[in-house]
Amino acid sequence: MNSRVAAPGKTRICPHCKATILESAAVCPGCHHHLRFDPKAIVERRAQPTFSALRVEGSFRNPPTSAAWEYSVVVSIRNDKGEEVARKVVGVGALGNNESRTVTLSVDVFAPANSR
């Protein structure tokens, strides 16, 4: 099989959900659709992160006697100089009284097999 190897960090658009993803991804991390045919072993290896560098989960609840709250979930990425390299509004919404939301942020790292 002749397999293309993408340059590290090169991106493309998922044809299913239109998210910007890594070109090396065989499965979209957002919508989980398969993006190209790969033998099962290669797909499983590429789809699984080498390790999770960060995972944070938090919840918030609007009190039972409060008026509706609005919220925005924003993710920003900074480089080692502190410069913002990306900023995305991931979701927005409203909470009626006594409603809650849980937000989970994870950063999965995919290292090449030869660097492990």
Phi, psi of 19 (to 5 degrees): -75, 150
> Which is nearest to 30 in space by CA: 52, 6, 13?
13
Q: Mean pLDDT, to the nearest integer, of 66-94?
A: 93
pLDDT-derived band at 42 (thresholds 50, 70, 90) equals low
Provide the pLDDT for residue 26.
81
pTM: 0.66
